[in-house]
Amino acid sequence: AVVRLAAGPSRRGSARRPGAMPAPPTLADAHRRFDALVLPHLDRLLAFARRRTDSLEDAEDAVQEACVRAWQALGELRDEVRVRPWLYRILRGVLVDAYDKAARRRRLVSFTRLEDAHEELVGADDAVFDEVVGRLTGEAVHAALGELPDDFAAAVELRDIDGFAYQEIAEILHI
């Protein structure tokens, strides 16, 4: 006699026993959830990583590693509304891990030097300030952020470029 196992509900109906555990999600379900939650954010994640790395290849590697970590931790994501900060937090961890402590920390810019530069550029003349802002390019901003310690630069980028609220920045940077 041949015994066939039914892949779906039995003919008697699909009612579960009281207290029975729901069937675990399938791999296909996990892939669909991952694609729906993560893929819409890849371009922004890559842009963030690009600003934090020296090359496009390094940024792509960081985003790829962040996606691997997000896939591995997908079951831990409880609030799908918070997926964007969750992904940035993972990416931030990848970026931090990519550099050892000495390499991650850039030299501090002296406050005296900043104050002097500010006075020279801005002074009391708003026209000079407007001219300086008009000359800033993406490369100049990237270079200026490169002069700041990584944590400070990341906070500026997350707020002014990516538009995160301060509470979300604190969560992403673990501060």
Q: What is the pLDDT of residues 139-174, one digit of tens each?
A: 777 788 888 888 888 888 888 888 888 888 888 888
Q: Which two tokens stand for residue 103?
A: 């390499």
Query: With contact defined as beta carbons under 8 Å apart, do 53 and 47 qualify?
Result: no
Model pLDDT, residue 152: 85
Alpha carbon of 149 to those of 18, 23, 104, 109: distances in Å? 56, 48, 8, 9
pLDDT tens per residue, the chain (175 residues)? 444 444 444 444 445 566 666 667 788 998 999 999 999 999 999 999 999 888 999 999 999 999 999 999 998 888 989 999 999 999 999 998 887 533 544 444 444 555 566 566 655 555 665 666 566 666 777 788 888 888 888 888 888 888 888 888 888 888 8
Tell me the sheet residues that pair with 10: 13
Beta strands in 22-175 (DSSP E): none
Model pLDDT, residue 111: 43
Residue 108 has φ and ψ, to the nearest 5°, of -80, 140
Q: Which two tokens stand for residue 89?
A: 């937090």
Model pLDDT, residue 161: 80
Q: Residue 164, class by beta-carbon neighbours within 10 Å (0-12 exposed, 13-18 middle, 19+ buried)?
A: buried
